[in-house]
């Protein structure tokens, strides 16, 4: 077991306190690290960090890049300190909410100021900043060159998906690449500047957390968005046809009670990847571990086997199971990168082959009490039955809060829960936090919403819905010293 017995809190970056309508990498992030430090926590977990788009409901799981950072997370006040903006320019308007993110409003406000910051950087940046920017562009050229060109082209073509661009640039013909790189040179450089700002601010935040012995837990969606720099720049990595359109897309098959799901992400060409020692994936992991200490692999099942649907089919039932890369993939990556500090999302897919793959590499799986049958003796999602090789979560970004879940239980399940936990449910959030913390799971995680005892109105995401997600924020005042002290006592008592 490569992990120590420890615990932490999930809070996505967009949910942090801050003056500009969304969480950022500035003082609100440091305030949360201080909260974790007071609570004696050793882990901070969050969603993927990539750029998001309103067309995808601002989901961090549908990003335009598996490598880039989200520009909306940049701390504008830091750009004032650097001399790229004035204090007046970052004065927040009165209509920004401290409780909810209005992505359209935030995007409009932030992008204008990032453009101004870039212009001022271009005109008057100190030599040290210019050198740091140049060093970043050289060091990260493997992904930032394609991402910056891709993003500039999106603007050039009125935000159309790359599949609808002119054929020459859609298929990256050399003459077209050279022409657009020249025509869009300033816009390309702007997007590199934005990524440099994100990267330097992230490095400072990660150092602040490390000084307090708090590890950062990132998230790795197995698939990338179709309309992404990754698919456009690396068509050979995916199962595309000769014209670079998807031949097959990802999803899950029908199960009793549902019709399955067609996600639409292009699936990987694992044979080609294997022939190249999974080079694109190694690059992806290297970038991820430049940013975080541990990563949660979303949909781990896809590395064992994956449901592949013909692109022209709308019905998920038209798909078939295909073999994933399996152990060879993780062995190859481990040979290149060393130890692989992964948690894996294995919810709902616990067949023999995925368990064997997970356990071969010692990756802890996930256990969530909201999936428990409280009236079934020994049910695997009851905290008292978690194995050591597990990460126990009170709730996740995709589930209801504990309080919301509890309110929706049937009378019978609620009575069985009371019996199993020895509680009357008056503080059900702390009852379940204590149960998960007291379990054998090597890592215990809760959410900020659960620490505050919030109901379903504070839920972060409802899977399968396109609007109203990823908006909840915590306020400065809610990072309460009494809450931190109570979590510290639970952590001390359960030896985490």
Q: Check if the beta carbon of residue 470 is closer than 8 Å to that of residue 60.
A: yes
**Which residue shows structure tokens 């880039």?**
68
Q: Check if the beta carbon of residue 71 is closer than 8 Å to that of residue 194.
A: yes
Candidates 398, 415, 476, 480; catalytic one: 398
Residues 35 and 483: their CA atoms lie apart, in Å, by 9
Given phi > 0 = left and psi -120 to 50 = alpha, else beta, which region is 278? left
Which residues have a Cβ under 8 Å from the Cβ of 345 and sit 6 or more positions away?
296, 297, 298, 299, 300, 365, 366
Candidates 199, 298, 304, 450; catalytic one: 298
DSSP assignment of 328-381: HHHHHHHHHH----EEE--TT---HHHHHHHHHTT--EEE-GGG--TTSTT-TT
The DSSP letter of residue 93 is P
Residues 407 and 409: their CA atoms lie apart, in Å, by 6
DSSP assignment of 231-256: HHH-GGGB-B-TTSSBSEEEEE--BT
Candidates 345, 346, 400, 434; catalytic one: 345
Q: Nearest to residue 233, comparing CAs of 186, 278, 280?
A: 280
Main-chain phi, psi angles of 263, to 5 degrees: -75, -35
How far from each other are the two terminal CA atoms of the chain, in whole angstroms?
15
Q: Nearest to residue 193, comparing CAs of 238, 133, 138?
A: 133
Distances (CA, A) of 371 to 167, 367, 380, 394, 428: 48, 8, 9, 10, 16
Q: Rounded to 5 degrees, what angle do the CA atoms 369, 374, 376 make? A: 120
Distances (CA, A) of 485 to 432, 473, 492: 17, 21, 10
Order the strands of the 320-323 sheet from edge to edge.
261-266, 248-252, 305-310, 320-323
H-type alpha helices, 64-218: 76-81, 103-124, 127-139, 141-156, 167-170, 174-183, 185-211
Catalytic annotation present for 298: yes
Strand-pair partners of 240: 246
Q: Check if the beta carbon of residue 390 is closer than 8 Å to that of residue 444.
A: no
Q: Check if the beta carbon of residue 146 is closer than 8 Å to that of residue 220.
A: no
Catalytic annotation present for 345: yes
Strand-pair partners of 443: 6, 391
Residues 73 and 65: their CA atoms lie apart, in Å, by 15
DSSP assignment of 53-91: -GGGTT-TTS-S-SSPPPGGGS-HHHHHHTTSS-TGGGP
Q: Which residues are tagged catalytic?
A: 298, 345, 398
């Amino acid at each position: 077991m490569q992990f120590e017995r420890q615990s932490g809190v999930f809070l996505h970056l967009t949910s942090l306190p801050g003056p500009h309508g969304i969480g950022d990498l500035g003082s609100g992030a440091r305030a949360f690290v201080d909260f974790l430090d007071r609570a004696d926590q050793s882990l901070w977990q969050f969603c993927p960090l990539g750029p998001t788009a309103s067309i995808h409901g601002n989901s961090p799981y549908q990003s335009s890049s598996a490598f880039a950072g989200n520009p909306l997370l940049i701390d504008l006040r830091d750009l004032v300190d650097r001399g790229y903006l004035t204090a007046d320019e970052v004065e927040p308007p009165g209509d920004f909410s401290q409780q909810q993110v209005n992505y359209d409003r935030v995007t409009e406000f932030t992008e204008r100021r990032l453009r101004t910051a870039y212009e001022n950087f271009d005109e008057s940046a100190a030599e040290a900043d210019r050198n740091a920017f140049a060093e970043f562009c050289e060091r990260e050229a493997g992904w930032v060159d394609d991402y910056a060109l891709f993003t500039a082209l999106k603007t050039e073509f009125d935000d159309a998906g790359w599949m609808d661009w002119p054929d020459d640039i859609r298929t990256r013909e050399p003459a077209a690449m050279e022409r657009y790189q020249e025509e869009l040179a300033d816009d390309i450089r702007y997007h590199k500047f934005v990524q440099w700002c994100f990267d330097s601010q992230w490095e400072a935040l990660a150092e602040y957390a490390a000084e307090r012995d708090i590890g950062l837990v990132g998230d790795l969606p197995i698939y990338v968005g179709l309309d992404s720099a990754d698919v456009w720049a690396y068509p050979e990595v995916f199962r595309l046809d000769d014209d670079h359109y998807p031949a097959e897309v990802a999803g899950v098959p029908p199960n009793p009670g549902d019709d399955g799901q067609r996600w639409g992400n292009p699936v990987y060409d694992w044979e080609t990847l294997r022939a190249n020692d999974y080079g694109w994936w190694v690059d992806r992991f290297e970038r991820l571990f430049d940013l975080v200490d541990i990563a949660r692999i979303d949909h781990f099942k896809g590395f064992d086997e994956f449901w592949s649907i013909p692109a022209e089919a709308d019905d998920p039932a038209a798909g078939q199971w295909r073999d994933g890369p399996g152990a060879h993939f993780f062995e190859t990556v481990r040979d290149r990168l060393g130890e692989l500090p992964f948690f894996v999302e294995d919810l709902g897919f616990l067949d023999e082959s995925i368990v064997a793959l997970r356990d071969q590499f010692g990756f802890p799986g996930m256990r969530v009490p909201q999936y428990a049958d409280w009236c079934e003796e020994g049910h695997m999602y009851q905290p008292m039955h978690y194995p050591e090789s597990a990460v126990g979560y009170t709730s996740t970004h995709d589930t209801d809060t504990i309080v919301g879940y509890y309110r929706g239980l049937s009378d019978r399940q609620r009575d069985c829960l009371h019996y199993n936990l020895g509680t009357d449910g008056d503080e059900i959030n702390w009852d379940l936090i204590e149960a998960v913390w007291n379990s054998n799971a090597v890592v215990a995680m809760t959410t900020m919403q659960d620490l505050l005892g919030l109901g379903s109105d504070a839920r972060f995401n409802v899977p399968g819905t396109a609007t109203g997600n990823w908006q909840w924020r915590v306020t400065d005042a809610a990072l309460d010293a009494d809450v931190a002290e109570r979590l510290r006592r639970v952590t001390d008592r359960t030896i985490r």
